[in-house]
Structure 1
Amino acid sequence: MNNFSKKNELETLKIENQLYKELISQLPYSLVYQNPQLGYQVEKKKGKQFPVIHPYQKELVEEKQLNLTITSDLFEPVENILSKIIDHVPHHIVFTDKNGIITLCNLQAARDLHVDQKEMVGKHIRELLQIPDEKIIILETLRTGKEIIDQEVLDRNYGIINTRIIYDAHGSIQRVVGTFQFLNRIKNAEKQALAGRIAAGIAHEVRNPLTTVRGYLQLLQMKVEPEISELFESLLIPEIDRANKIISDFLRIAKPSQTKTQIFQVTDFFNNQLGNFLNSEAHLYNGEINYEFCPKSETCLIEVNGDELIQVFINLFRNSLQAKQDEHLKIHIKTKVVKDLLVITFSDNGNGINPSILPYIFDPFFTTKDEGTGLGLSVSKKIIENHNGLMEVSSSKDGTVFSISLPIAKLS
């Protein structure tokens, strides 16, 4: 055989090997193929893209017997069908095998727990939930063999959990199915409702007397000595105004408001509206602001209350300013279009937010600052929600990123 023929044969073998490899990778179940004559086996695990070839001990397999073992169970084909259906269910649904390994994770669970849905298949349930094993209800069901019915979960993921066990023909556990009604959003809504009731009482019982006191202070200011008048001007009246502002901010969080809006072009708003305020603030504190607009977003229209949206970004800027420590403050504002939403990211180079307090930063009156009221971010989030938008946050030691999604306006 000449060199040309050998080269063609090698190319053909290479193509055949690649085809077989890709064929096995497409199988929706696990399998092990053992060849005692060669002393190697091919193993393909569910959820893994490509098979693995490695040697094994021949003496464990009867000599001259080719052994093909499909290690999947009868439920795997069913899961492949179910996965497309339960992705539309608004609750968390997770299937695990008898070892706590995830065989199915629906889209809602992946979204709420901030993981990649495909990567979770084949991993232990603890990697999805990120809590100790003793607190994982599915593992409790595996240990005890008892199903859980409507149990309230009070950890960081608040809700109601149910588990069901699926047995094989021999009575062994084949799957544990966990369904979790995620109630964090409902809990937050209840907080807002409670805040509304408190705010109404505050507004009625405190705001009117403060206005009266302020009026009398202004009247007295004209009749007292200059030294005392200066005290009124520099301390008493400003403190009453500060108290009034706290009440106003709290009312804005707690009660729905009728937002007067107008339509802006994205680049016009950032350059001519927001830019005038933020750029002067940055200059005052020796900071730096960079804008990056994706071409698709430049001509987009948003229907917003300009003053309120400017207030959101001023609040974010001031939070970044307080987090910068000794660093030269750098702000990066970036826009992009995702379907029918304008997504605005506001990132800084501060020292980040401690992961333990990150879930609470939008709660009214939550603050780590000695002089803070804890209302700035709460007000900002409420303003965005009043615009039918969404506000989220992520943080690391390299800085904090706030993401704001607003509907793109459509002219009729």
Structure 2
Amino acid sequence: MKNDFGLERFAKLVIKQDDLRTLYFRAFAFLLDFFDADKLYFFKFSKRKQCFDPKAALNRDILEEVVKGDYESFNIEEAFEKEFNLNFRAFGSSCNDVVRSLAKLVVDKKVKSIKSSSIKSARLKSLWSQLKLNDEAFYVPLFSLNEMVGFVLFDKVIDYDNSKAYFDLLGCAIGRLFLLKNIDNLSNLLATKDDEDKRKQKLYQIGKTAMIMAHEMKNSLIGIMGLFSRLKAYVDEDKKAQRYYEIIESQLKKLYEFTFDINKFSKIGDGADIREVEIADIIDNSIEMASSFSNDVKFSVSIGKDASVIEADKSQLEQVFLNLFKNSIEAKKQGSVKIDVSVRKEGEFVVIKIKDNSGGVDEETLKNMMKPFFTTKSYGTGLGLAIVKGIIDIYNGSLSFKNVKDGLECVIKLPQKNNTGGSDGRKEKNHGCG
């Protein structure tokens, strides 16, 4: 393995990709180079055909021709159309028997080395020869969302035990794209279908997928972070190693936080505890939490007497305010952050306006900022405002943003009396206790 490669570099690479083919090629180019291998083959599992399809192949010649050390921007089409890749994918025409035989030989949940001398099938030996594999190859199953999505063959034995984190991160990145695809499918369905039962079923599937993804990512990251923390003792005397350690640690924490955002997003609406709550208490708690993100932030709060109480879930509204305050703080590049909050009653609704001095956003961001996974931050998950909108929607309220002088204004409109019935159809009064 090359010493100048790092987990942080790989994490940044795979999280950026927005389609599976690009993700596969860029991740596999990195791994081929990382392990100093000459050839790598990826067989993707097809649920439709119930077999493994030859999907992508890279060798040292392709790597040197198209990558040139930059895994982020090399020409994917050029790599995909190389003769080496075309010949490999031809093996999978209609899932022929020889590919099925290979899958039967290697497919299980454990990594392992495979020796050509152990192969009995003449056709499989022929495939081994055509793939130009060495006398011993290495098999790595690839998992995402608790399912095997394919397997990778290297033409040499690799140090898997000390690099498992790379394959775990790749599985997380694949799961993220699966989730995005499901969300796109759901959006299309909601835009074109009126059948409420189908909508609910799709929503359930998305929530289930999101929860599974968050669970699997969290489990993998707990293991990675646990093992990684043991390395601290070995880098105390090396300043360069300390810096690498801090960078990787921060990236792992961000990925871990990402799993919690997904979990929040998938559980919006579950277990709402509807009570009569004081808006002032909710705002004060949120300000206290948000102030930890900056030492230079000032809040101004104005609450109308007839708008001081609302029926809602306190923790949900605190999540709304905290996310909005945090966004305003992070959007301000220089100088003091100023956030003005006003709460007024309009008819049967409570209208909350949050205005900052962040400088506002461009039209494209204004149009897309509430969509799941949309973010302009290099470190963001893109779920903060989607969570806010999801909570507001529960109460049949509305959420909007507009650019104003020096910043951005958010307007939230909520019914003062709960009209959702809560998670179990009950309302509880909590006079003055918040």
TM-score, length of structure 1 as denominator length: 0.45
TM-score, length of structure 2 as denominator length: 0.43
Structure number, greater radius of gyration: 1
Instruction: Choose between structure 1 and 2: higher helix proportion.
Output: 2
Q: Which has the higher contact order (CA 8 A, sep 6+)?
A: 2
